[in-house]
């Protein structure tokens, strides 16, 4: 090796020692590559022919005879982190592709099911009718339960007015009437929520249908329809 080249390499190694604050081994005997290794903080702590056993999992940098970096490797920790990130990105891409495929299927079903927005409204109203009927029936049952509860309260008040203990059977009937009232009220609230969900679902159908037919400006990132398009 020419003395000028050897001198240049030694100068580079000396500079590495000064910056890293560690020891640098001499250039390989054959005048080939030089490998520098880092500690966990990413600081270069040494260079030489081979990486010491205690730094086998560390990040490294390989230099040629002229001191030019030819190859770098991540530490085992960095490599594992990068692999995890890549796997996460791959999952996101897969989920996005699935979402787009689902959206396409829903759009196709929507167009094949309805020919106009009026048909969507008509189907919404048909789906609401049985729920409205159930609510009407439940309200009738609730009135009966409230009337029964009011009657029992009057009976209980009569016993108390006459300074007599309320019979256990009256107390039991009152408890059952109260529980029945609460149950019916809860069921009615559930049915009202069901109506809201139906309206919201068909509002999404209507909006998406308009976008697909070009009667409304498409959104930048349309929200998937709330479930598949219903059968007529």
Last residue of a domain, one of 78, 111, 145: 78
Indicate if 66 and 123 belong to the same structural domain: no
- Structural domain including 143 reads 99-213
Indicate if 106 and 199 belong to the same structural domain: yes
Please write the tens of the pLDDT for every residue from 146-163.
Answer: 999 999 998 888 888 888
How far is it, in rounded angstroms, from Cα 103 to Cα 223?
Answer: 8
Indicate if 7 and 62 belong to the same structural domain: yes
Please write the tens of the pLDDT for every residue from 54-113.
Answer: 888 888 888 877 777 778 888 777 878 888 888 889 999 999 999 999 999 999 999 999
Instruction: Tell me whether strands 44-48 and 34-38 are parallel, antiparallel or unpaired.
Output: antiparallel
User: Which pLDDT belongs to residue 86?
Assistant: 87
Indicate if 44 and 141 belong to the same structural domain: no
Indicate if 72 and 145 belong to the same structural domain: no
Determine the average pLDDT of the residues in 21-42.
Answer: 60
Indicate if 146 and 195 belong to the same structural domain: yes
How far is it, in rounded angstroms, from Cα 204 to Cα 113?
Answer: 14
How far is it, in rounded angstroms, from Cα 231 to Cα 109?
Answer: 9
User: Which pLDDT belongs to residue 113?
Assistant: 93
Query: Does the residue 224 lie in any domain?
Result: no
Q: Give Dmax over CA atoms of the chain in angstroms.
A: 123
Q: What residues form DSSP beta bridges with 61?
A: 36, 72
Domain count, the chain: 2
Indicate if 36 and 133 belong to the same structural domain: no
Q: What residues form DSSP beta bridges with 63?
A: 34, 69
Token pair belonging to 25:
């081994």
Q: In this structure, what DSSP letter does residue 64 have?
A: -
Burial class (CB in 10 A: 0-12, 13-18, 19+), 194: middle
How far is it, in rounded angstroms, from Cα 74 to Cα 116?
Answer: 59
Indicate if 107 and 190 belong to the same structural domain: yes
Q: Report the C-alpha dihedral over residues 191, 193, 198, 200, rounded to 10 degrees.
A: 170
The structure tokens 């390499």 sit at: 9
Is 17:23 a contact under the CB 8 Å cutoff?
yes
Indicate if 119 and 164 belong to the same structural domain: yes
pLDDT-based confidence at residue 201 (cuts at 50, 70, 90): very high
Token pair belonging to 72:
């770098």
Last residue of a domain, one of 78, 109, 126: 78
Indicate if 120 and 178 belong to the same structural domain: yes
What does pTM read for this prediction? 0.55
Could you tell me where the DSSP H helices lie in the chain? 3-20, 76-113, 117-161, 168-213
Indicate if 116 and 188 belong to the same structural domain: yes
How far is it, in rounded angstroms, from Cα 197 to Cα 231?
Answer: 17
Please write the tens of the pLDDT for every residue from 175-199.
Answer: 999 999 999 999 999 999 999 999 9
């Amino acid at each position: 090796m020419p003395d000028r080249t050897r001198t240049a390499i030694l100068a580079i190694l000396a500079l590495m020692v000064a910056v890293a604050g560690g020891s640098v081994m001499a250039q390989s005997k054959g005048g080939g590559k030089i490998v520098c290794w880092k500690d966990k903080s990413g600081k270069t702590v040494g260079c030489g022919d081979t990486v010491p056993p205690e730094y086998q999992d560390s990040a490294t940098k390989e230099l040629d005879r002229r001191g030019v970096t030819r190859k770098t490797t991540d530490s085992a920790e960095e490599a594992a982190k990068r692999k995890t990130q890549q796997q996460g990105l791959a999952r996101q891409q897969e989920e996005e592709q699935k979402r787009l495929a689902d959206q396409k299927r829903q759009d196709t079903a929507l167009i094949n099911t309805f020919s106009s927005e009026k048909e969507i409204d008509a189907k919404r109203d048909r789906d609401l009718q049985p729920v409205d009927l159930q609510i009407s029936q439940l309200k009738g049952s609730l009135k009966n339960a409230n009337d029964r509860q009011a009657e029992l309260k009057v009976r209980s008040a009569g016993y108390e007015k006459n300074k007599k203990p309320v019979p256990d059977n009256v107390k039991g009937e009152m408890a059952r009437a109260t529980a029945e009232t609460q149950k019916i009220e809860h069921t009615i609230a559930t049915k009202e929520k069901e109506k809201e969900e139906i309206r919201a679902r068909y509002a999404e159908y209507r909006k998406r249908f308009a976008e697909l037919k070009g009667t409304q400006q498409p959104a930048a990132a349309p929200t998937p329809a709330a479930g598949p398009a219903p059968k007529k």
